[in-house]
Chains A and B, each alone.
Chain A
Amino acid sequence: MADELIMTAGATESVNLAFNAANGVSLISAIEHDSVINSAKACSEVKLIPPMKNGRIDPNTVKKMLTPDVGFVSVALVNHELGYIQPIEEIAEIVKAERLRRQENGEPLPLIFHTDASQAAALIDVKIKRLGVDLLTLSAAKVYGPKQVGLLWVRPGVTLKANIFGGGQELGLRSGTENVAGVVGFATALELAQKRRSAEVKRLRKLRENLVKDLRQAFPDMLISSDMKKSLVSFLNISFPGVDAERLVFLLESRGVLVATGSACAANSGTRSHVLASVGLSESEIDGSLRLTLGKLNNDENIKRAGEFIIEAVQAEMKRARR
């Protein structure tokens, strides 16, 4: 197994290393993380797979777009804003079939399937065999491990290309002295995640349901962009069209509730979330969007209180906007 893992300084570096092996056109979902989109653009010509309204990447669409000039496919296991869990196994089957077709036809262009599973590992069992991918990215920070540690799993037989040169560590693909403390911390974090996974999923599902119920009661028109059945239980993306969500972020931050928004706010240098735009949200829906992430520090009490603060903040902002 050791010769299948390249330890890196985080998911972004893993993704960069993965795309450095790209030949031909890269076919990636339109809702990938910036690290994937920008690596893909830096290394190849890019085609974007449009998502469905709930954030799903439809395997049939992938099949249609997987033309003979595509050499690299990348779809995140869990989308980083909506939390949608993608049908990676089905996409892997399609990629496998295309690879077989090329072999039979003697077409030389290799085809590599990568998934960025950074968002998933804490709450989904990332069984590589089951997923059927060729490359998989993980981040320690996303499983409560140390920051600046990540890995790229490589299926034996897949050829990568180094972009960091030196003493030949990590199979020559990522030179530089090993970050031993970071790697040990990463391993421990993954073990703990594995042990707690099923109980934690149940616990967070309940917290999310309660939070949605409270918010829904206060705001019957609230838009829920996360698919409540198919998204990871730690994600909740909602929107209050007409409200300036960045104001909510600042109001909530001063009360100890840390949330994010996809709005064209200052923090995003004036650009709106490409993920929310891709699933068809309007500008005012994006500008009113809040991304709530639940995790191990949350419990019944603080989620209840966070819900109250969110309701107060949204009501205050709706009142201000009407004035």
Chain B
Amino acid sequence: MSKKVFVGMSGGVDSSVAAALLVEQGYDVTGVYMKNWSEDLPGMHCPWAEDVADAKRVAVGLGIDFRVFDFQKEYKQNVVDYMISEYQAGRTPNPDIMCNQEVKFKIFLEASLAAGADYIATGHYARVAHESSSSAKLLRARDDNKDQTYFLYRVTSEALSKTIFPLGDFTKAEVREMAKERGLWTASKKESMGICFVGQVGIREFLSEYVKTAPGNIIDQQTGSVIGKHDGAIFYTLGQRHGLNVGGGLPYYVVGKDMEKNEVYVSRSIDNSNLWRKELRLADIHWINQAPHKDKNVQVRLRHRGALFDAKIDGDIVHLSASERAVAAGQSAVIYDGDECLGGGIVKTD
């Protein structure tokens, strides 16, 4: 009997092709739309109904079962509330990482296994090397440009052992081509970016719905003088240089903020020490299998699709081999050993 796979279908082209490939590989496939968010917010239309219809059209075309799993409560609690409270604490969280950890590779996995699945699958660009029935390694996608392991570093080895990534060996262009060849309904659908519920309007409008904000001062860190006004320190993140509403001359960079005082500190100097780090302290460290030895040469990635920097890991400290542009507290440092994603942690302020 063929193995049963529940594939997460978002209504996008990637997960559509993932489902099609699984069918062709002989799996007994069920498509699942995870309904994580359905609310419209002022100026923001949530396209869940269109997305679930698209996903179902593809599933029907492939002749596979299709189900909707409702995870709205869990998503609100574990992803949205987390995101809002992180912003309120002055950090810059990554909700996609949280969604993978808490929803896709946890409750979706659990619900699928409970419904009789042997594996789950998603349209992520990543690869997995199954080691045993309960452990696996996470590997970078063949397409370096699309590699999504940065978002997957908090998934457990056990969850990965039950996971298939059908797109790991393909480039985005190849995936689009495969969708076209197969006449999939979603073949020419536009890419959705980032967290779906924020949609086109951005995080600023989303946060404004949930958090009370007040205007405050933008202060030049060197001179200590107030050089402008901002509409809420929550909206600003380390290294940011746009949207500061302080015109003229060289650009200003955000080099820090004080949430209590609702103040944002800026500098004109790209050499400002706050913008560069040679050491990073991590919190909530997660290793997929085990921690690398402290003498081992590893690579660290500080942003999705960002460069890989040489580093060594000692406990909760990342020692970079050279100073690099700092990332805001709340962002993730993801650790690699060549192709393998080992895990990582969340950057702390020091």
**Interface contact B52-A266, CB-CB below 8 Å:** yes
| A214-269 interface with B by 8 A CB criterion | 246-247, 250-251, 254, 265-267, 269
Asked whether any CB of chain A lies closer than 8 Å to the CB of B231, the reply is: no
Name the residue on A nearest B51 (C-beta): A266
Choose from B49, B61, B65 the contact partner of A320 (Cβ within 8 Å). Answer: B65
Choose from A250, A269, A270 the contact partner of B56 (Cβ within 8 Å). Answer: A250
Choose from A246, A266, A267, A320 the contact partner of B63 (Cβ within 8 Å). Answer: A320
Q: How far is the CB of A243 from chain B (nearest CB, A)?
A: 12
Name the residue on B nearest A268 (C-beta): B49
Interface range on chain A: under 10, 10 to 19, 20 to 34, or 35 or more?
Answer: 10 to 19
Q: How far is the CB of A246 from chain B (nearest CB, A)?
A: 7
Asked whether any CB of chain A lies closer than 8 Å to the CB of B60, the reply is: yes
A270 to B48, CA, bound (A): 11
The residues of A that contact B57 with a CB separation of less than 8 Å are 250
Q: How far is the CB of A191 from chain B (nearest CB, A)?
A: 39
The residues of A that contact B49 with a CB separation of less than 8 Å are 266-267, 269-270
Interface flags for B39-73 (1: CB within 8 Å of A; 0: not) read: 00000000001101100110011010110000000
The residues of B that contact A250 with a CB separation of less than 8 Å are 56-57, 60-61
A251 to B59, CA, bound (A): 10
| A124-146 interface with B by 8 A CB criterion | none
**Interface contact B53-A265, CB-CB below 8 Å:** yes
Q: How far is the CB of A209 from chain B (nearest CB, A)?
A: 30
**Interface contact B60-A251, CB-CB below 8 Å:** yes
The residues of B that contact A269 with a CB separation of less than 8 Å are 49
**Interface contact A266-B53, CB-CB below 8 Å:** yes
How many residues belonging to B are interface residues under a CB distance threshold of 8 Å? 11
A229 to B284, CA, bound (A): 70
Q: How far is the CB of A319 from chain B (nearest CB, A)?
A: 10
A247 to B56, CA, bound (A): 8
A250 to B49, CA, bound (A): 15
A251 to B53, CA, bound (A): 13
**Interface contact A246-B61, CB-CB below 8 Å:** no
The residues of A that contact B52 with a CB separation of less than 8 Å are 266
The residues of A that contact B66 with a CB separation of less than 8 Å are 247
| B56-110 interface with A by 8 A CB criterion | 56-57, 60-61, 63, 65-66
A266 to B50, CA, bound (A): 7
Q: How far is the CB of A56 from chain B (nearest CB, A)?
A: 33
A191 to B53, CA, bound (A): 39
**Interface contact A267-B65, CB-CB below 8 Å:** no
Name the residue on B nearest A321 (C-beta): B65
**Interface contact A246-B56, CB-CB below 8 Å:** yes
The residues of A that contact B61 with a CB separation of less than 8 Å are 250, 254
Interface flags for A179-207 (1: CB within 8 Å of B; 0: not) read: 00000000000000000000000000000
Name the residue on A nearest B66 (C-beta): A247
A304 to B65, CA, bound (A): 29
The residues of B that contact A316 with a CB separation of less than 8 Å are 63
Interface flags for B108-127 (1: CB within 8 Å of A; 0: not) read: 00000000000000000000
Most buried by B among A246, A250, A254, A266: A266
Name the residue on A nearest B63 (C-beta): A320
Name the residue on A nearest B35 (C-beta): A270
A270 to B66, CA, bound (A): 15
Q: How far is the CB of B30 from chain A (nearest CB, A)?
A: 11
Name the residue on A nearest B65 (C-beta): A320
A320 to B61, CA, bound (A): 13
Q: How far is the CB of B49 from chain A (nearest CB, A)?
A: 5
Q: How far is the CB of B40 from chain A (nearest CB, A)?
A: 11
The residues of B that contact A247 with a CB separation of less than 8 Å are 56, 60, 66
Interface flags for A153-195 (1: CB within 8 Å of B; 0: not) read: 0000000000000000000000000000000000000000000
Q: How far is the CB of B63 from chain A (nearest CB, A)?
A: 7
The residues of A that contact B65 with a CB separation of less than 8 Å are 320
Residues of A within 8 A of B (CB): 246-247, 250-251, 254, 265-267, 269-270, 316, 320
22 A-B contacts (beta carbon < 8 Å): A246-B56, A247-B56, A247-B60, A247-B66, A250-B56, A250-B57, A250-B61, A251-B60, A254-B61, A265-B53, A265-B56, A266-B49, A266-B50, A266-B52, A266-B53, A266-B56, A267-B53, A269-B49, A270-B49, A316-B63, A320-B63, A320-B65
* Extra 18 A-B pairs, beta carbons < 8 Å, given A251-B60, A266-B50: A246-B56, A247-B56, A247-B60, A247-B66, A250-B56, A250-B57, A250-B60, A254-B61, A265-B56, A266-B49, A266-B52, A266-B53, A266-B56, A267-B49, A267-B53, A269-B49, A270-B49, A320-B63
Residues of B within 8 A of A (CB): 49-50, 52-53, 56-57, 60-61, 63, 65-66
